[in-house]
Chains A and B, each alone.
Chain A
Amino acid sequence: MKCDDIQLLLDEYLEGSLPAGDAARVKEHLKKCADCRDELQFLKKYMKKTETFPMLKAPDDFLEKIHRKIDAPERGTLIEKLFFPLKIKVPLEVAALLALAVTGLLLFKPFQPELTEYKAEKPGRQIAMEDKKLLQKETVASRSDSLAPVMGKNRVREKGIDPAADNKVAASRIEDMVASEKSVSEQLSKEKEKSSRGEQAEVTLYLKQNVLAGAEPAMDDSVQTRDQDRAEDSRTATRKSLDFAKKDKAVSEGAMQSAPSGTVSGQASIDNIASLARSLEGRIIKKTQGGNQVIVEIPRKNYSQFMKGLRGSWSVQRQYPAELSRKASKAEKVQFNINLQN
């Protein structure tokens, strides 16, 4: 047995509680080992001293104080409850705070950049982007091609490819690259020019039907005056029947329809506006089926005529922008986003 093993048993050896076999081994070792004998001597003296250690008595009011503490409500400041013992509670609280912060960051992501795309790319832009991607791909390809003769001359020779021909291919690729770059820049400049010139202006209208005029929507000035004359004629005459008036309007206004109550229904109104737009060389971009929205495109020259036509049957509640801007006035066409209100 080694000294370390013997020293583990010395305590019990002294106490006499060691099994006989172990005690004999310890005794044998002690005969040979001076260091363990010293350890045993130290233990003997040390234990003799500790046996005479004074026993203290608890204070006389020990029990009373316990009673008082048990009866009293639990005290202690909030700070003591929160932070003591420091070594245990502070690290726990720091860990909890960090966990909260990490959770908050994961949930709200305050430092993440905005990834929302606000506007769809225009077709021209898309083409330009595609061209750019193609250009990048070709650049990579041409690089690898241009490196190929240097890196793998042997391979080229084995395949029997003429290096001069290879150079020609590379040159043609470079030409293509330059051409495609030019086309991209041209396209971009065209796009810029377009946007600066402003080919199309946009106006948003919120219209409310005139109750009186609703039955007699005006198409243009001539149509309107003609209608007015006829209405006057009809009033001065022996009050022709309502059916006749309807028939008359249908004939005079073509696609125009009127409701018997004097107001025009949603679908009919949209149709009226559409036919007005068509009569002024415009086109319908979109109209909601049975709804109250229609988008039409009118040549710029017919802008005021179209507005006049609309105002005959509708009162304009809101208009954005109120007037065409200088830039928009140069536009060839004006797009009207028309919303009908009941």
Chain B
Amino acid sequence: MNRNSKTTTRPEQEDDALIRSFLSDNINAFDRLVIKYKDMVFNLCFRIVNDYDDANDCAQETFIKVYNSLKQFRFQSGFSTWLYRIAINTCRNRIASSGNRIRKKMLRIDNPGEQGSDPVEIHDCSFNPDSVFEKNEQTRIIHQAIDALPEELKILVVLRDLEGNSYEEIADITGVNLGTVKSRLARARHLLRESLREVI
């Protein structure tokens, strides 16, 4: 998805110029960077954490981290690669810390009126991926299959198949070497093939 268009529409020189402008106290330059990358970061977060609110929080936290640490940006790698790295780490932390919060979203109501009846569980109806993909059942199932992958494999699949990054970029973002990225992706696709056998 957008695999070839990404590099042509986001020239790195423009990002570097905006960063330099921000470093010389032009706050508007940071706003322009946010506007330019907010959808990309938001989608990435949404595909990893699989929850709209969490994705929103993660995306905002990512930009706040960028704001606070942009002075340390060395211009050695592309800004988008750096941004991806921060966003993925933020999502990982969120996944690690949100276990209890997700469980809390499952409201448990015991009905004292009917003895012996099973307690009713009501799912918190905040914005979720099912409502995003409701028009296309097949897409929703694929998204669920990707979400069910182990975290490391899921991140690679999102970066490669949904965000359209090259293997080299993925290796740079995740800090995993190229061969491992390829073999892990092959394993992830094999798992997906197993789970999506009836759909595709």
Contact = CB atoms under 8 A, between A and B. Distances in A.
Interface of A: 4, 7-8, 10-11, 15, 39, 42-43, 45-47, 49-59, 62-63, 65-66, 69-70, 84-88
Contacts, number: 98
Contacts of B63: 66
Interface of B: 1, 3, 31, 34-35, 38-39, 41-43, 46, 55-56, 59-60, 63-64, 67, 93, 96-97, 99-100, 132-133, 136, 138-139, 142-143, 160-162, 182-183, 185-186, 189-190, 192-193, 196, 200
A15 B164 CA distance: 11
B42 A42 contact: no
Contact of B139 (A4, A10, A42, A54): A54
Instruction: Identify whether the interface residues of B are mostly helix, strand, loop, or mixed.
Output: helix
Contact of B56 (A4, A7, A58): A58
A46 B56 contact: no
Given A56-B132, A62-B38, A8 B97 contact: no
A65 B57 CA distance: 10
20 contacts: A10-B186, A39-B193, A45-B200, A46-B142, A46-B189, A52-B136, A53-B143, A54-B133, A56-B46, A56-B55, A57-B39, A62-B42, A63-B31, A63-B34, A63-B35, A66-B64, A70-B64, A86-B99, A86-B100, A88-B96
Contact of B185 (A11, A39, A57, A85): A11
A55 B2 CA distance: 11
Contact of B200 (A46, A51, A69, A87): A46
Given A39-B193, A49-B142, A57-B42, A85 B64 contact: no
A59 B1 contact: no
Contacts of A88: 93, 96
Contact of B64 (A45, A54, A56, A69): A69
Rank and list the top 9 A-B pairs by shortest CB-CB distance, nearest first: A85-B97, A58-B42, A58-B38, A45-B200, A87-B96, A85-B96, A50-B161, A42-B193, A51-B1
Contacts of A39: 189-190, 193
A50 B189 contact: no
A49 B200 contact: yes
Contacts of A15: 3
A56 B144 CA distance: 16
B96 A62 contact: no
A47 B190 contact: no
B96 A8 contact: no
Contacts of A59: 56
Contacts of B3: 15
B26 to A, nearest CB: 15
B138 A55 contact: no
A58 B39 contact: yes
B200 A86 contact: no
B139 A49 contact: yes
A47 B160 CA distance: 10
A84 B99 CA distance: 12
A300 B192 CA distance: 105
Contacts of B99: 86
